[in-house]
Amino acid sequence: LDILVVDGINPFSTGWVLPAGLLREPVSALAEADVIVLNKVNLARSPEDIRTVLARHNPRAYIVESFYKPLLLRDFQSGKEVKASLLDRASVGAFSGVANPLSFIRTLAEMKVLIRHAYTLKDHYPYTKEKLKGILEDAKLRGLQYLVTTQKDEVKLPHDMDLTIPILVLDIKWEVTGGKSQWETVLKNISLTSTTT
């Protein structure tokens, strides 16, 4: 089963694969997919245009639409929920090592968390105590009162540090908004296959 994910914010990049562009496979790979997931559809400029391109390259594939739904903010050290409204008048920064940091900032904006400064690190960034300390020191100089990061980054952060600024983690949920019945069929087929082998 070939499942191909397309980023709704920047679906076809420059048309080039890594390292010349952002695509992990050429656009021609769309023709081989059984399922195409149009992710971050809520942030796409023109989902209709993207659907048209996908259908032109592969009219037989299921097209499933999805997005990341923000759930809550959580304190990195205590694990306790922090209400987004607490940040209304605070100076907030963000840091992330994800492929599309803009979608992270936009997701925070959906929660009415406005980011004053963002630290954008390369995807899958390997955090060290020194790097995190550098971010915290710079944030302090900028007058930031909180830093927010992603769940993906959280697992790579050193836990045995004294934080000069609280770090919050944005918890999200992946949600299917279009093609739900097709997605359920895919999951059912995967489940059937895994139980018979």
3-class state of residue 197 by DSSP: coil
pLDDT of 93 reads 98
Hey, what are 195's tokens?
């139980």
**The pLDDT value given to residue 196:** 61
Burial class (CB in 10 A: 0-12, 13-18, 19+), 39: buried
Choose among 62, 80, 60: nearest CA to 6. Answer: 62
Positions in the chain short of pLDDT 50? none
Closest CA to 130 of 150, 155, 148, 157: 157
pTM of the full predicted structure? 0.84
